[in-house]
Structure 1
Amino acid sequence: MATSTARPPTGEERDQRPLDFQTMRASTRRLLAEGAELLSLEEVETLTLRLRGHIMVTVPEVEEMAGRLPRNDTRRACARACIGEARMRMRLEPGATLPARIAHAQRLARSVNALCDHNESLGGS
């Protein structure tokens, strides 16, 4: 049996397409906009998975940009705090009821918005 010598891609080799922040923010509006439509359980579950994906692809980019700043830079500290909170929210499990699942998705949506804001303030796309 042959063994694979493939290795995971380095940061330089990763897909270099820009993140779609417009789509990310549209996802968050479905949960956070005033007068947002009521969602079914299936829609909340789908949206939760989408938001988790947005966080998973945005955190490394924001983390990399923040890491380029001096250690005492306020923007770096704020971005790193936001990253920590987003990761914490990713570890949480939603409740069993629809309102609890919506509240969980809303927290994820707020993290996505904050990560998008930090990306913008740090000079990202």
Structure 2
Amino acid sequence: MTEATAPSAAVAEPDGLDLETMRESARRLLADDAELPTPEELETLTLLLRGHMMLLIPAVEDAARLLPEDAVPRACALACVGEARMRLGLEPGRTLPAGIAHAQRLARSVNALCDHAVNLDGVHR
């Protein structure tokens, strides 16, 4: 994770969110060939993932609430939002492995929220 990559060009996505950049941030921790971050990189990446979640949560929640209350995609998206909010409230452990595990959970939430943003955007078009 010592190599910096240039951000990809922003693509018009749901609510103007740059989902590809958000997914790339998550891949830095979740890819099979991901390198272990240094403590400094981990702190930066954790803050970045938290920021992505803070943008995604209201966008997904707003899109889900446009669906009927008994719609399965609505229930799934709102459950994901609830879990993401819970994860935002958690603190990472004091060790590097615990911090990495925490950041990986945030990354999985970012991926899931991106999926819901795309799926719900398609429902509303």
Q: TM-score interval w.r.t. the shorter chain? A: 0.7 to 0.9
Which of 56, 63, 66 is equivalent to 2:64? Answer: 66
TM-score normalised by L of structure 1 = 0.85
| Corresponding residue of 1:80 | 78
TM-score normalised by L of structure 2 = 0.85
| Structure 1 residues 37-116: aligned runs within 5 Å | 37-116=35-114
CA RMSD of aligned residues (A): 1.3
- Runs of 4+ aligned residues of structure 1 deviating over 6 Å after TM superposition are none
| Corresponding residue of 2:27 | 29
Task: Please list every run of 5 or more consecutive structure 2 residues that lacks an aligned counterpart in the other structure.
Answer: 1-14
| Corresponding residue of 2:115 | 117
How many residues are paired up?
A: 109
1 CA distance for matches of 2:37 and 2:62? 35
